[in-house]
A and B are shown apart, each in its own frame.
Chain A
Amino acid sequence: MKDALVATVVHDLKNALSSLTSSTGDIAGRAAGSELELDATRLHATTVALSQRLVGFLTVYRSAQAGLSAQLRDHTPEDFLREVAAGLVLPPEAVGINVAECEDGAPFWFFDDYLTRMALEAAVHNALRFARSEVVLACAVRNGFLVFSVADDGPGLGADAEPSTGLGTVLCQAIARAHTHGERTGKVVLRNRPEGGALFELWLP
């Protein structure tokens, strides 16, 4: 099948899924307080996650075809992180998402808020697969990079879980690479936390 056809079909699916997501959101809102609340919230979270994965796939596809260009504008990292956390649509059984106070925070930094949000959402969804009690979002400035991090308190890297497509990692790496400043390029770091659990870091120059 031709690439262009695949892209068109996926694009159509994305639009249909967007419309479905909007409807499930509406249903979830109306079901609040009723016996259907949990099911409706779960349904909505599932459609949102599917929609995000499809947009992620399209972004990776676009990146492979023509490279990804980042629209760099100044944003306040801590405000941005709170926006990302507030915008997450999660199933009822998900653990809590907390935003840590940003240490050595910069009042503003240049990055593409749309792409960065996409990367962090993918990282959060991955972290939720392993987290036991919470996922923590944080940011800091290190060695001239703004570092967004997503930490979980699960078993750490290499642990067995349901199989993953690896789309999230490819997406985050493409988004990191799209951020450049002079000679420096963004990067993704994955490591275990000394206190246990895994840590995802998105370094933006």
Chain B
Amino acid sequence: MPEMRANLRAQLQQLSLREVTQASSAKEALKAISEQASARPFDLVMCDYNLGGDTNGQQLLEHVRGKNLLLPLTIWFMVTAESSYDYVASASDFAPDDYLIKPFTAANLESRLMRHFERQDAFGPALKKMAGGDLEGAAAEFSRVVEAGSKFTMDALRLKARSLTGLNRHNEAKAVFAQALSIRQGVPWAELGFARALRDAGDLDKASAAATAVALANPTLVGAHELLAEIHQARGDESEALEALGRVESIVPSAKRSRALGEMAVRVGNMEVAKTAYAKVVAATRSSVTRNPYDNAALAQIYLDTGDSAKALEVLKPVQSHGETGFQSVAAAVQARAHREMGNGKAATAALERALQLAKDAGPEAALAVSKACFALGKDAEGERLVTAAVRANHEDEQLLASARKVLKDAGREEGTSRLVDAQVQEMLGLTERALALAKKAELGEAQAIIAEAVAGLPNNVGVLVAAAQINLLFLSQRGLDVEVATRVRGYLETLEKLVPGAERVVKMAAFFKELLLKSRAGAGA
């Protein structure tokens, strides 16, 4: 590997690319990319698919692009061995800009780079707009490239569709994918994009048929199986979703995919699949940049649920020092249950006390984990209080509500579901509806007061935040710009963007807010 990096560096220097940073592992690469991200992001990344550790090149690419650590203009070359090229190239629709198959010469590298520099010239304005969040402008630029009949037509169509998807204009995106397919039938990314656009536009039946066809024609295209899993999940077919996620994980094993499989298996109650999946995650990320202590906590809970308390404690050991409160409360809850099962009453009580203390500052998922320990140790009132708090923290999150119901069921307390879950949801809905109704009756002041109180008590409840943003936007549109109200709206929208990134209603409100601000500025200027 060091020899190969030295060769590559020499080849790049032959091409007058002199500022080269080398990394010998995914960890080092991520560190270098992160450090450069805010100063001057790299123009080119050359990454071997086989990085020798727990992270492969595709995972690193997905991680880095997912965290926006590189500019859209940055070129990513994936270097692969001939023997793994088919597998690497066919499986992912989250593709690098190009593949280089070993061995390659400086001349090969130069011609590839020239092609990509030319592409950058053609797409420069559009990609800059994309990076700046102007997706509308980017889509228009890509249209120009397509209309010119350029050699980059297919790529321009792909990126135009991506821009339109980002704008939630799914039917238009669908038309662009169809245009690509009219140029060449069976292009996997266009077939898959078309199926996704159908799903995003809400047509689950057609989306399911289209995704099934893509998966059949491209059995290793992991995105097709991921889409099928999402569609099954949206329809409530959790067993089928679990099967699709199993296929996803077997095609391109990765911690992220095993985690998704594990989560679904827990939800469906297939503890054997869940155990295997989470065990893989923990093993694969042991010394990786993507290590997440919650995976150990999840595996520990699965061991507990399948009666293996000693293993539950063992799997927590390597991440015990992780300081995040949510994790610490879950870990303490697991310890409490494990000690209880093993007959260590004192240790169990001490761990539960710690868990309860920590749960005060942790999120709803941690609260549910601690509630399980409460029920196991006979602290029923505390358990109920935590279930209620978790539900109230985000009464619109179906997965969370399903987990809350499951906690009660597993604890043999199903009779409490209507009181502890359903009634809480109704109450929260009633609160937001009352505030919205007042707002509609033009009693904006009272509506704002009610919803502000609700936000203060439940700062991360999506439904409450949406209602708060709506009411305050109504205020701004009717009464004109008020700096304090506008600041509040900005805060709500920022929190929502973090909690539910890209959600359609949030995107729409953000666009409306921007429009209001522009109008008021124009008005002030006139």
Q: What residues of B have a CB within 8 angstroms of the CB of A108 in the complex?
A: 151-154
Whether the Cβ atoms of B185 and A76 lie closer than 8 Å is no
What size tier do the contact residues of chain A reach?
20 to 34
At the interface, yes or no: A158 with Cβ under 8 Å from chain B?
A: no
The one of B83, B102, B185 in contact with A11, judged by C-beta atoms closer than 8 angstroms, is: B83
Q: How far is the CA of A74 from the CA of B111 in the complex (A)?
A: 16
Whether the Cβ atoms of A87 and B108 lie closer than 8 Å is yes
Whether the Cβ atoms of A76 and B151 lie closer than 8 Å is yes
Instruction: Render B101-145 as a binary contact track against A, CB cut-off 8 A, 1 for contact.
Output: 111110110111001000000000000000000000000000000
Q: How far is the CA of A72 from the CA of B102 in the complex (A)?
A: 19
Whether the Cβ atoms of B82 and A55 lie closer than 8 Å is yes
Q: How far is the CA of A205 from the CA of B28 in the complex (A)?
A: 44
Whether the Cβ atoms of B105 and A25 lie closer than 8 Å is yes
For the complex formed, measure the closest distance between the CB of B62 and the CB atoms of chain A, giving whole angstroms: 19
Q: What residues of A have a CB within 8 angstroms of the CB of B107 in the complex?
A: 86-87
Chain A residue with minimal CB distance to B102?
Answer: A18
Q: What residues of A have a CB within 8 angstroms of the CB of B85 in the complex?
A: 71, 114
Whether the Cβ atoms of A74 and B105 lie closer than 8 Å is no
For the complex formed, measure the closest distance between the CB of B192 and the CB atoms of chain A, giving whole angstroms: 14
Known contacts A108-B151, A108-B153, A181-B186; 15 additional CB pairs below 8 A are: A22-B7, A58-B83, A69-B86, A71-B86, A72-B187, A74-B153, A74-B184, A79-B111, A82-B111, A83-B108, A83-B115, A86-B111, A107-B149, A107-B150, A108-B154
Q: What residues of B have a CB within 8 angstroms of the CB of A79 in the complex?
A: 111, 115, 151
Whether the Cβ atoms of B101 and A114 lie closer than 8 Å is yes
Near B by CB (< 8 A), chain A positions 114-135 give 114
**Given known contacts A69-B86, A107-B153, A110-B187, A83 and B103 CB-to-CB distance under 8 angstroms:** no
Instruction: Render A46-74 as a binary contact track against B, CB cut-off 8 A, 1 for contact.
Output: 00000100010010000000000101101
Q: How far is the CA of A182 from the CA of B354 in the complex (A)?
A: 65
Whether the Cβ atoms of A18 and B103 lie closer than 8 Å is yes
Q: What residues of A have a CB within 8 angstroms of the CB of B185 in the complex?
A: 181-182
Q: What residues of B have a CB within 8 angstroms of the CB of A89 in the complex?
A: 105
At the interface, yes or no: A21 with Cβ under 8 Å from chain B?
A: yes
Q: How far is the CA of A58 from the CA of B7 in the complex (A)?
A: 25
**Given known contacts A83-B112, A110-B184, A21 and B90 CB-to-CB distance under 8 angstroms:** no
Chain B residue with minimal CB distance to A114?
Answer: B101
Q: How far is the CA of A101 from the CA of B85 in the complex (A)?
A: 31
Instruction: Render B2-44 as a binary contact track against A, CB cut-off 8 A, 1 for contact.
Output: 0000010010000000000000000000000000000000000
Q: What residues of B have a CB within 8 angstroms of the CB of A55 in the complex?
A: 82
Near B by CB (< 8 A), chain A positions 1-36 give 11, 18, 21-22, 25-26
For the complex formed, measure the closest distance between the CB of A119 and the CB atoms of chain B, giving whole angstroms: 14
Q: What residues of B have a CB within 8 angstroms of the CB of A87 in the complex?
A: 104-105, 107-108, 111
Q: How far is the CA of A70 from the CA of B213 in the complex (A)?
A: 19
Near B by CB (< 8 A), chain A positions 166-186 give 181-182
At the interface, yes or no: B510 with Cβ under 8 Å from chain A?
A: no
Chain B residue with minimal CB distance to A66?
Answer: B86
Instruction: Render B146-188 as a binary contact track against A, CB cut-off 8 A, 1 for contact.
Output: 0001111111000000000000000000000000000011110
Near A by CB (< 8 A), chain B positions 185-227 give 185-187
At the interface, yes or no: B89 with Cβ under 8 Å from chain A?
A: yes
Q: How far is the CA of A55 from the CA of B104 in the complex (A)?
A: 13
Name the residue in B102, B103, B110 with the highest tally of chain A Cβ atoms < 10 Å from its Cβ. Answer: B103
Q: What residues of A have a CB within 8 angstroms of the CB of B102 in the complex?
A: 18
Instruction: Render A32-48 as a binary contact track against B, CB cut-off 8 A, 1 for contact.
Output: 00000000000000000
Name the residue in A21, A51, A76 with the highest tally of chain B Cβ atoms < 10 Å from its Cβ. Answer: A76
Q: How far is the CA of A149 from the CA of B241 in the complex (A)?
A: 48
Whether the Cβ atoms of B86 and A74 lie closer than 8 Å is no
Q: How far is the CA of A124 from the CA of B155 in the complex (A)?
A: 31
Instruction: Render B426-456 as a binary contact track against A, CB cut-off 8 A, 1 for contact.
Output: 0000000000000000000000000000000
Whether the Cβ atoms of A51 and B103 lie closer than 8 Å is yes
Q: What residues of A have a CB within 8 angstroms of the CB of B155 in the complex?
A: 74
The one of B7, B101, B111, B149 in contact with A83, judged by C-beta atoms closer than 8 angstroms, is: B111
Q: What residues of A have a CB within 8 angstroms of the CB of B104 in the complex?
A: 87
A-B pairs with lowest CB-CB distance, top 4: A83-B111, A107-B151, A76-B151, A74-B154
For the complex formed, measure the closest distance between the CB of A6 and the CB atoms of chain B, giving whole angstroms: 15
Q: What residues of A have a CB within 8 angstroms of the CB of B154 in the complex?
A: 74, 108
Whether the Cβ atoms of B111 and A71 lie closer than 8 Å is no
Chain B residue with minimal CB distance to A17?
Answer: B103
Whether the Cβ atoms of A86 and B90 lie closer than 8 Å is no
Q: How far is the CA of A191 from the CA of B153 in the complex (A)?
A: 35
Whether the Cβ atoms of B103 and A21 lie closer than 8 Å is yes
Q: How far is the CA of A127 from the CA of B312 in the complex (A)?
A: 67
For the complex formed, measure the closest distance between the CB of A141 and the CB atoms of chain B, giving whole angstroms: 14
Q: How far is the CA of A107 from the CA of B152 in the complex (A)?
A: 8
For the complex formed, measure the closest distance between the CB of B429 and the CB atoms of chain A, giving whole angstroms: 49
Q: How far is the CA of A174 from the CA of B425 in the complex (A)?
A: 63
Q: How far is the CA of A76 from the CA of B149 in the complex (A)?
A: 12
Chain B residue with minimal CB distance to A74?
Answer: B154
Q: How far is the CA of A70 from the CA of B211 in the complex (A)?
A: 21
21 example contacts (A-B, Cβ-Cβ < 8 A) are as follows A11-B83, A22-B7, A25-B105, A26-B7, A26-B10, A51-B103, A55-B82, A71-B89, A74-B153, A74-B155, A76-B151, A86-B107, A86-B111, A87-B107, A87-B108, A87-B111, A107-B149, A107-B151, A108-B151, A110-B184, A114-B101
Whether the Cβ atoms of A69 and B90 lie closer than 8 Å is yes
Q: What residues of B have a CB within 8 angstroms of the CB of A51 in the complex?
A: 103
Q: What residues of B have a CB within 8 angstroms of the CB of A26 in the complex?
A: 7, 10
Q: What residues of A have a CB within 8 angstroms of the CB of B187 in the complex?
A: 72, 110
Whether the Cβ atoms of B115 and A71 lie closer than 8 Å is no
Whether the Cβ atoms of B103 and A22 lie closer than 8 Å is yes
Q: How far is the CA of A26 from the CA of B14 in the complex (A)?
A: 12
For the complex formed, measure the closest distance between the CB of B152 and the CB atoms of chain A, giving whole angstroms: 8
Q: How far is the CA of A58 from the CA of B83 in the complex (A)?
A: 9
For the complex formed, measure the closest distance between the CB of B7 and the CB atoms of chain A, giving whole angstroms: 6
Q: How far is the CA of A8 from the CA of B358 in the complex (A)?
A: 56
Chain B residue with minimal CB distance to A21?
Answer: B103
Q: How far is the CA of A69 from the CA of B220 in the complex (A)?
A: 12
Near A by CB (< 8 A), chain B positions 70-91 give 82-83, 85-86, 89-90
Q: How far is the CA of A11 from the CA of B83 in the complex (A)?
A: 9
Whether the Cβ atoms of B184 and A58 lie closer than 8 Å is no
Q: How far is the CA of A131 from the CA of B83 in the complex (A)?
A: 33
For the complex formed, measure the closest distance between the CB of A102 and the CB atoms of chain B, giving whole angstroms: 12
Q: What residues of A have a CB within 8 angstroms of the CB of B7 in the complex?
A: 22, 26
